[in-house]
Amino acid sequence: MDIELTKEDDAFRAEVRRFISEKLPRELAERETVGASGERGALRRWQKDLHEKGWVAVNWPRQYGGTGWTPMQKHIFNEEMAAANAPRLSPFGLSMVGPVIYTFGNEEQKKQHLPGILSGDVWWCQGYSEPGSGSDLASLRTRAVRQGDHYIVNGQKIWTSYAHEADWIFCLVRTDETAKPQEGISFLLIDMKTPGIEVKPIISIDGLHHLNEVFFTDVKVPVTNRIGDKNKGWTYAKFLLVNERTGIAGVPESKRKIAHLRKIARQERLGDGTALADDPAIMTKLSEIEVKLTGLEYTNLRIVADEVAGRPAGPSSSTLKIVGTEIQQALSELAVEAVAFYAMPFQREHLMGIANEAPVGPAYAVSVTSAYNFGRAASIYGGSNEIQRNVIAKAVLGL
């Protein structure tokens, strides 16, 4: 693989750094460091700045408002954003449904939905999973029955991240009960304000509200909100999942976390006053994770080089997802170990970024336990790691 950076790549990196130093609000970057979730208004302003610069849709083609960047430029951009603690923009519009709409949607749908996704004015959520239909997604039972120009949708979705904040949901629905499971599914875009939609919170193990159940009772959805052909939703759903998994790997974010952990290790002391950074036990663990991450980074770069040569990532995104999430979980475990008893207090206001007094312990300790707890989900969402191993066995190894 050829991963030499050109002079243009170096100049591009400098430009990205300049933009970040001028535009990224310090307050937003600091929140990311302590792990607090960003407030919607601040995130929206950050997205607007990126949008004005034309940098919001890194992976989209230029004709739809994307950057048109080379795979290497995208890689550099993601690295610099993560290194600067820039908050990740919500992936549901930009990385998931946006590409489905510009690839399989009609002109009307592109006109209606792409501008709001780019500007950040319209937030999306993902309605795939149902009780009993997670790994076995094709067994989903939410039904859409056609009545004239509308579908009448009935059923339930679960684990719907940020449905309580979303304006629209993209849903997999069953439109043919008689066909094979994969062949009777359609892909619908549904306005969350439509009567008959009820969102119920699920409070996760970190004590916060990210997840929901979404119930549909006789929800009337125009047929024009269907993407592509009836019963072909599975094709669009799989296309979307490849993008989702590649994003979950989070190599640059893990690199930042390693650097952050090294900083913590220089500040934290053992009982005898020795700096944690001089403790071989913990530093060996950190180095082992770093070695694994370097391996993953080169796998990622190999995929980037393949893309430059016109060979798309496809099922190799499953490898990135497995190793990337294993690294994230190992890092969050080490962070708990590093801050020791400061991992104990549950400081909800600080986690939500709404506290008005100083935290117990150092600011970097506030979110380590919630990140550790919620991080267990990384090997489950986007398709569990066991399922990714099945994908690799079939599609990569041909077993």
Ligand X SMILES: Cc1cc2nc3c(=O)[nH]c(=O)nc-3n(C[C@H](O)[C@H](O)[C@H](O)COP(=O)(O)OP(=O)(O)OC[C@H]3O[C@@H](n4cnc5c(N)ncnc54)[C@H](O)[C@@H]3O)c2cc1C
Which residues are annotated as catalytic? 244
Q: Is 381 near ligand X (CB under 6 A)?
A: yes
Q: 209 - beta bridge partners? A: 203
Kindly tell me which of 85 and 129 has the beta carbon lying closer to ligand X: 129
Tell me which of 386, 393, 394, 396 binds ligand X, using CB under 6 A.
386
Among 122, 308, 380, 392, binds ligand X (CB under 6 A): 380
User: Using CA atoms, how far apart are residues 246 and 257, in angstroms rounded to an integer?
Assistant: 19
Question: What token pair was written down for 16?
Answer: 């990205």
User: In the numeric block, which tokens belong to residue 341?
Assistant: 């008893």
Q: What is the helix (H) or strand (E) element at residue 284, kind and residue range?
A: helix 280-308
Among 135, 224, 267, 287, which residue sits at the site for ligand X (rule: CB under 6 A)? Answer: 135
Q: How far apart are CA 281 and CA 1, in angstroms?
A: 36
d(CA 361, CA 344): 10
Tell me the number of residues near ligand X by CB under 6 A: 19
151 lies in the site for ligand X, by CB under 6 A: no
Binding mask 188-207 for ligand X (x = CB under 6 A): --------------------
Q: Which residue among 55, 60, 104, 159 contacts ligand X (CB under 6 A)? A: 159
- Whichever of 342 and 374 has its CB closer to ligand X, that residue is 374
Q: How far is the CB of 334 from ligand X (least distance, A)?
A: 21
Q: Is 212 in the site for ligand X (CB under 6 A)?
A: no
Q: Which of 134, 233, 247, 252 binds ligand X (CB under 6 A)?
A: 134
Contact flag: residue 139 with ligand X (CB under 6 A) = no
> How far apart are alpha carbons 24 and 32 in whole angstroms?
12
* Shortest-Cβ-distance residue relative to ligand X: 134
Q: Does 93 bind ligand X (CB under 6 A)?
A: no
Residue with tokens 């519009």: 93
Nearer to ligand X, 70 or 384 (CB): 384
Check residue 60 for interaction with ligand X (CB under 6 A): no
Which residue in the set 90, 161, 254, 369 belongs to the binding site for ligand X (CB under 6 A)? 161
Q: Is 383 in the site for ligand X (CB under 6 A)?
A: yes
373 binds ligand X (CB under 6 A): no
Total Cβ atoms within 10 A of residue 391: 20
For ligand X, the binding residue among 78, 95, 126, 318 (CB under 6 A) is: 126
Span from 47-55, 100-108, 129-137, 175-183 in contact with ligand X (CB under 6 A): 129-137
Spatial CB neighbours of 307, under 8 Å, sequence gap ≥ 6: 71, 313
Backbone angles phi, psi at 169, to 5 degrees: -130, 140
Dihedrals phi, psi of 201, to nearest 5 degrees: -70, 150
Question: Does 369 interact with ligand X (rule: CB under 6 A)?
Answer: no
Q: Which residue has the tokens 């993902």?
A: 126
For 218-266, what is the HEC assignment?
EEEEEHHHEECCCCEHHHHHHHHHHHHHHHHCCHHHHHHHHHHHHHHHH
By CB under 6 A, is residue 183 in contact with ligand X? no
Nearer to ligand X, 85 or 90 (CB): 90
Mark the segment that binds ligand X (CB under 6 A) among 121-129, 225-233, 262-270, 273-281.
Answer: 121-129
Which of 73/325 has CB closer to ligand X? 325
Q: Which of 296, 377 has the CB closer to ligand X?
A: 377
Q: Which is nearer to ligand X, 151 or 374 (CB)?
A: 374
User: 3-state DSSP call for residue 125?
Assistant: strand
For the chain, give the number of residues: 399
Q: If binding is defined by CB under 6 A, does position 128 make contact with ligand X?
A: yes
Backbone phi and psi for residue 187, each to the nearest 5 degrees, phi listed first: -110, 110
Residue 280's region, left for phi above 0, alpha for psi from -120 to 50, else beta, is alpha
Question: CA torsion 397→250→18→302, rounded to 10°?
Answer: -10
Q: Are 160 and 213 in contact (CB under 8 A)?
A: yes
- For 141, counting Cβ atoms within 10 Å of its Cβ (0-12 exposed, 13-18 middle, 19+ buried), the class is middle
Q: Is 318 in the site for ligand X (CB under 6 A)?
A: no
**Which residues contact ligand X by CB under 6 A?**
125-129, 134-135, 159-161, 211, 377, 380-381, 383-384, 386-387, 390
